[in-house]
Structure 1
Amino acid sequence: MLVIGGGPSGLSAAVAAARLGVRVRLVERYGFLGGNLTAGLVGPCMTSYSLDGSQQLIRGIYEEFVQRMMALGGALHPSTIPAGSAYCGFIVYGHDKVTPFQPEAAKVAAQRMCIEAGVELLLHTMVVDAIVDDRDADNPRVLGVVCAGKGGLRSVRAKVVVDCSADGDVAHYAGVHTRQGRESDGLSQPQTLFFRVQNVDDQVVEDYIRAHPQDFRPFASIVAKATAEGRFPAPRRGIGLYKTMEPGVWRINTGRVLRRNGADALELSLAEVEGREQTVALLDFFRDNLPGFEQVELRDTATQIGVRETRRIDGAYELTLQDLHSGRAFEDVVALCGYPLDIHDPTGSGGGTGGEGLDAANIYQIPYRVMLPRVHEGLLVSGRAVSATHEALSAIRVMPPCFALGQAAGVAAALSVGNRASPRHVDYADLRRELLAQGAYLG
Structure 2
Amino acid sequence: MRTYTREIDVESPTDVLVIGSGPSGLAAAVAAAREGMTVRLVEQYGYLGGNLTGALVGPCMTSFSLDGKTQLIRGIFDEFVRTMESLGGAVHPSHTVGGSPFAGFMTYGHEAVTPFDPEVAKRVALEMALDAGVELMLHSMMVDSVVENGRVAGAVVAHKGGMSFLPATVTVDASGDGDVAARARAEFRYGRESDGTVQPMTLFFRVRDVDDEAVAAYQAEHPEERFPFESLVEKAHRDGTYSLPRRGVQLFKTLEPGVWRVNTTRVTGVDGTDVHDLTRAEVEARRQVLDLLDFFRAELPGMGSSRLLDTAATIGVRETRRIVGTYEITLDDLVQARAFEDVVTVAGYPVDIHSPTSKDGPFDDDIPTTANVYEIPYGALVPAEVDGLLVAGRCISGTHEALAAIRVMPPAFALGQAAGTAAAQAARGGIAPRDVDVRALQERLLEAGAYLGERLARDRSML
TM-score (norm 1): 0.97
Cα offset, 1:82, TM superposition = 3.5
Contact 1:237–1:350 (8 Å) recurs in 2 = yes
Cα RMSD for the two superposed structures: 1.1
Matches of residues 201-216 of structure 1 in structure 2 within 5 Å? 201-216=211-226
One-letter code aligned to 1:37? L
Out of 360, 363, 366, the position equivalent to 1:350 is: 360
Contact 1:52–1:96 (8 Å) recurs in 2 = no
Instruction: Determine the structure 2 residue equivalent to 1:193.
Output: 203
Closer, same or farther in 2 for the Cα pair 1:275/1:118, shift >3 Å?
Answer: same
Contact 2:106–2:226 (8 Å) recurs in 1 = no
Tell me the secondary structure at the aligned position of residue 83 of structure 2: helix
Tell me the secondary structure at the aligned position of residue 93 of structure 1: coil
CA distances 1:218-259 after superposition (whole Å, capped 9, x unpaired) = 111110110111111411111100000000000001111011
Closer, same or farther in 2 for the Cα pair 1:357/1:199, shift >3 Å?
Answer: closer
Matches of residues 27-176 of structure 1 in structure 2 within 5 Å? 27-134=42-149, 140-176=150-186
Tell me the secondary structure at the aligned position of residue 190 of structure 1: coil
Tell me the secondary structure at the aligned position of residue 341 of structure 2: coil
Tell me the secondary structure at the aligned position of residue 309 of structure 2: strand
Tell me the secondary structure at the aligned position of residue 158 of structure 1: strand
Rounded Cα–Cα distance in structure 2 between residues aligned with 1:105 and 1:254 = 24
Out of 9, 18, 21, the position equivalent to 1:6 is: 21
Cα offset, 1:352, TM superposition = 5.3
CA distances 1:252-303 after superposition (whole Å, capped 9, x unpaired) = 0111101100111110110000000000000011000111111110000001
Instruction: Determine the structure 1 residue equivalent to 2:265.
Output: 255
Out of 181, 200, 225, the position equivalent to 2:235 is: 225
One-letter code aligned to 2:296? F
Cα offset, 1:354, TM superposition = 6.4
Tell me the secondary structure at the aligned position of residue 71 of structure 2: coil
One-letter code aligned to 2:144? D
Rounded Cα–Cα distance in structure 2 between residues aligned with 1:204 and 1:354 = 28
Tell me the secondary structure at the aligned position of residue 259 of structure 1: coil
Closer, same or farther in 2 for the Cα pair 1:357/1:250, shift >3 Å?
Answer: closer
1:180 and 2:186 aligned: no
One-letter code aligned to 2:31? A
Out of 285, 288, 291, the position equivalent to 1:275 is: 285
Contact 2:271–2:320 (8 Å) recurs in 1 = yes
1:382 and 2:406 aligned: no
Structure 1 residue runs of 5 or longer lacking an equivalent are 135-139
One-letter code aligned to 1:15? V
Contact 1:83–1:91 (8 Å) recurs in 2 = no
CA distances 1:130-154 after superposition (whole Å, capped 9, x unpaired) = 00114xxxxx110011100120011
One-letter code aligned to 1:411? T
Tell me the secondary structure at the aligned position of residue 330 of structure 1: coil
Contact 2:211–2:302 (8 Å) recurs in 1 = yes
Tell me the secondary structure at the aligned position of residue 10 of structure 1: helix
Aligned residue pairs: how many? 438
CA distances 1:360-402 after superposition (whole Å, capped 9, x unpaired) = 1000000001010000000000000000000000000000000
1:362 and 2:360 aligned: no
One-letter code aligned to 1:403? F
Closer, same or farther in 2 for the Cα pair 1:84/1:274, shift >3 Å?
Answer: farther
Tell me the secondary structure at the aligned position of residue 375 of structure 2: strand
Rounded Cα–Cα distance in structure 1 between residues aligned with 2:132 and 2:322 = 30
Rounded Cα–Cα distance in structure 1 between residues aligned with 2:365 and 2:322 = 18
Contact 1:84–1:92 (8 Å) recurs in 2 = no
Rounded Cα–Cα distance in structure 2 between residues aligned with 1:202 and 1:286 = 14
Rounded Cα–Cα distance in structure 1 between residues aligned with 2:442 and 2:275 = 39
Rounded Cα–Cα distance in structure 2 between residues aligned with 1:216 and 1:58 = 26
Cα offset, 1:123, TM superposition = 0.2
Structure 2 residue runs of 5 or longer lacking an equivalent are 1-15, 454-463
Over the matched positions of the two proteins, sequence identity in percent amounts to 58
Rounded Cα–Cα distance in structure 2 between residues aligned with 1:356 and 1:70 = 37
Contact 1:125–1:149 (8 Å) recurs in 2 = yes
Instruction: Determine the structure 2 residue equivalent to 1:413.
Output: 423
1:23 and 2:38 aligned: yes
Instruction: Determine the structure 2 residue equivalent to 1:373.
Output: 383
Rounded Cα–Cα distance in structure 2 between residues aligned with 1:390 and 1:270 = 24
One-letter code aligned to 1:300? D
Rounded Cα–Cα distance in structure 2 between residues aligned with 1:351 and 1:83 = 23
Instruction: Determine the structure 2 residue equivalent to 1:284.
Output: 294
Rounded Cα–Cα distance in structure 1 between residues aligned with 2:278 and 2:233 = 27
Instruction: Determine the structure 1 residue equivalent to 2:414.
Output: 404
One-letter code aligned to 1:113? M
Rounded Cα–Cα distance in structure 1 between residues aligned with 2:116 and 2:368 = 31
Contact 2:107–2:225 (8 Å) recurs in 1 = no
Cα offset, 1:325, TM superposition = 0.3
Tell me the secondary structure at the aligned position of residue 439 of structure 1: coil
Tell me the secondary structure at the aligned position of residue 351 of structure 2: coil
Rounded Cα–Cα distance in structure 2 between residues aligned with 1:314 and 1:424 = 14
Closer, same or farther in 2 for the Cα pair 1:209/1:92, shift >3 Å?
Answer: closer
One-letter code aligned to 1:77? H
One-letter code aligned to 2:30? V
CA distances 1:294-346 after superposition (whole Å, capped 9, x unpaired) = 11100000011111100000110000001000001100000010000000110
Rounded Cα–Cα distance in structure 1 between residues aligned with 2:271 and 2:362 = 22
Rounded Cα–Cα distance in structure 1 between residues aligned with 2:228 and 2:145 = 45
